[in-house]
């Protein structure tokens, strides 16, 4: 018989194998799934609608017969795909609520000889676990600094130095400004962002500091969950003070990789905030391949915006650290000392 287990055991035991099968439809999986899970759908998007409609209109038995009609030709393919990802001949299976879909696939795979664990409550139980994780308390330390301070690179270096780091911009596939989508993949759904974030928080040791970057609550079109956001706003902040021209140099190098047309679109997004004349000057400089001037003009706006946000914070929770140059190794090591 398949072994039903709760969400905690499901995640702990499957973390060693990475053999999670999500048997929901491709549409459900795309909306949100357990990180690392593989989608082997019992029904296609259209087939699930047909079965669900039959269940409502005619009852359970006609729906089951139609379901078997759909699934019969797929059985061999389901077994082959499951066998390909099974570790130690073990598979972890779930559907939406831990009902008939996961039970059917579990029966088939167990009949074939694979050891099966089923998630009690299905993906719905996982989502409760995700939302609960944002209410937990974490030992957060926020890394602040004006635009162009290379905070993301500093976080990556801190991670290399065995510090606990969660990179929100990486999880959201966005760098948080009007230029934030450049060079990034399509942003995940809000649900999947939350799933990935909860998965990252799962391994956090609260006896150690957790570094996160100072962000607006909205990163691109993704929203930092309320529980975690509230903690970030109350956490101590270490603010990097990096010279203006050093930041201009960094941004010129970073954004010089992107096509001019994409940079123009980004500048146009902040025209009202820059002021029409400054936006015109920034676009003109860009047209003349003078990206440094464009960066200087845009930074003047972003610096004011950042300072406005910092002025609303509790001054006693902010520690300013001055750096003469933008040396990532030096900054990361100095931050660890200041902790």
Q: What is the pLDDT of residue 310?
A: 84
Count Cβ atoms within 10 A of the Cβ of residue 153 and give its class: 0-12 exposed, 13-18 middle, 19 or more buried: middle
Q: CB under 8 Å, gap of 24 or more: what pairs does 68-74 form?
A: 70/43, 70/44, 71/42, 71/43, 71/104, 74/42
Which residue, 83, 103, 131, sits at the end of a domain? Answer: 131
| pLDDT tens-digit map of 127-138 | 999 999 999 999
Share of the chain above pLDDT 70, in %: 100
Same domain, 257 and 330: yes
Quick check: 286 and 260 in contact, CB under 8 A?
yes
The partner residues of 219 in beta bridges, in order of sequence, read 222
Q: What is the pLDDT of residue 121?
A: 96
pLDDT tops 90 at residue 306: no
For tokens 């003109």, name the residue. 284
Domain holding 246: CATH number?
Answer: 3.40.50
Same domain, 83 and 201: no
Q: Would you call 141 helix, strand, or coil by DSSP?
A: strand
Q: Residue 3: which H helix or E strand, with range?
A: strand 3-5
Q: Which residue has the higher pLDDT, 338 or 83?
A: 83
Same domain, 159 and 230: yes
Q: Residue 227: which H helix or E strand, with range?
A: helix 226-234
Domain holding 42: CATH number?
Answer: 3.40.250.10
Number of domains in the chain: 2
Same domain, 123 and 210: no
Residue span of the structural domain in which 77 resides: 3-131
| Catalytic center residues | 95
Q: What is the pLDDT of residue 339?
A: 74
Residue 16: pLDDT band (50, 70, 90) is confident
Which residue, 77, 104, 131, sits at the end of a domain? Answer: 131
| Distance, CA of 238 to chain centre | 23
Same domain, 191 and 293: yes
How many alpha carbons fall within 13 Å on the CB side of residue 267?
29
Same domain, 184 and 304: yes
| pLDDT tens-digit map of 183-215 | 999 999 999 999 999 999 999 999 999 999 999
Which residue, 131, 154, 187, sits at the end of a domain? Answer: 131
Same domain, 327 and 239: yes
Quick check: 305 and 177 in contact, CB under 8 A?
no
Model confidence pTM above 0.85: yes
Q: What is the pLDDT of residue 1?
A: 72
Same domain, 93 and 225: no
């Amino acid at each position: 018989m398949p072994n039903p287990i709760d969400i905690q055991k499901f995640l702990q035991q499957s973390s060693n194998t990475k053999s999670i099968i999500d048997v929901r439809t491709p549409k459900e999986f795309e909306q949100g799934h357990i990180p690392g899970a593989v989608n082997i759908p019992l029904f296609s998007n259209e087939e699930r609608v047909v079965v669900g409609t039959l269940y409502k209109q005619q009852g359970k038995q006609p729906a089951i017969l139609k379901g078997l009609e759909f699934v019969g030709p797929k059985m061999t393919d389901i077994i082959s795909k499951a066998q390909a990802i099974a570790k130690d001949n073990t598979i972890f299976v779930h559907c939406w609520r831990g009902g008939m879909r996961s039970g059917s696939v579990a029966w088939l795979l167990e009949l074939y000889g694979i050891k099966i664990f089923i998630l009690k409550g299905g993906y719905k139980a996982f989502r409760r676990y995700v939302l609960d994780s944002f209410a937990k308390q974490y030992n957060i330390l926020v890394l602040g600094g004006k635009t162009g301070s290379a905070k993301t690179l500093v976080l990556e270096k801190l991670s290399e130095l065995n510090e606990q780091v969660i990179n929100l911009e990486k999880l959201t596939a966005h760098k948080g400004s009007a230029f934030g989508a450049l060079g990034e993949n399509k942003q995940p759904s809000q649900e999947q962002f939350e799933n990935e974030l909860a998965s990252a928080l799962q391994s956090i040791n609260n006896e150690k500091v957790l570094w996160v970057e100072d962000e607006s609550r909205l990163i691109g079109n993704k929203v930092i969950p309320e529980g975690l956001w509230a903690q970030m706003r109350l956490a101590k902040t270490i603010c990097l003070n990096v010279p203006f021209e050093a930041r201009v140099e960094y941004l010129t190098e970073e954004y010089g990789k992107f096509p001019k047309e994409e940079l123009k679109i980004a500048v146009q997004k902040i025209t009202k905030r820059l002021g029409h004349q400054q936006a015109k000057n920034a676009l003109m400089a860009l047209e003349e391949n003078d990206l440094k001037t464009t960066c200087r003009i845009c930074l003047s706006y972003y610096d004011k915006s950042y300072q406005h946000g910092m002025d609303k914070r509790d001054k006693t929770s902010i520690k300013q650290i001055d750096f003469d140059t933008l040396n990532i190794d030096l900054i990361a090591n100095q931050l660890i000392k200041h902790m």
